[in-house]
Amino acid sequence: MDFYFLQVQTVNNANNYLPIVIQLIFAIGLISLLIFGSDLLGPKRKTGDKLQNFESGIEIKGNARQPMAIKYFLVAILFVLFDVEVIFFYPYAVNFKALGKEGFAAVVLFVGSFLAGFIYIFKKGALKWED
């Protein structure tokens, strides 16, 4: 006996996405209502003390917009760059046996590329603070 007529054919059309669109509209509307409602109903007392920058109780000295050495930013970016590589070692450590020689070769290539980058920034003097 042929049960072909009992099979349900699923068709991907716009009606399938209607609940998602309704949920997105509701979420955007609720967020907008909360943001603008808090702005309209919230207190608005702008005094001189509230408009002044808060410096943790320390008296303000000079301008905060003075130039700062790029070394601080460079070291921070390099720290993030070389710190993120540790995150990629965890999946390899978990699947060490399953990855075999190809996995080991990939990790050696990965470490080699980061080591080459570290040697490059070291030779360029990016980590020297005496300048």
Domain boundaries, the chain: 20-124
Q: What is the 3-state secondary structure (H, E, C) of the chain?
A: CCCHHHCCCCCCCHHHHHHHHHHHHHHHHHHHHHHHHHHHHCCCCCCHHHHCCCCCCCCCCCCCCCCCCHHHHHHHHHHHHHHHHHHHHHHHHHCHHHHHHHHHHHHHHHHHHHHHHHHHHHHHCCCCCCC
Third-level CATH fold of 20-124: Methane Monooxygenase Hydroxylase; Chain G, domain 1 (1.20.58)
Q: pLDDT tens, 103-114?
A: 899 999 988 998
The token pair at 47 is 């005094």
Contact in structure between 126 and 74 (CB atoms under 8 Å): yes
Q: pLDDT tens, 10-69?
A: 677 878 889 999 999 999 999 999 999 998 998 888 888 777 776 676 776 777 777 777
pTM exceeds 0.75, yes or no: no
In the predicted model, what is the mean pLDDT of residues 59-80?
Answer: 78
Distances (CA, A) of 31 to 20, 41, 53, 77, 99: 16, 15, 29, 34, 46
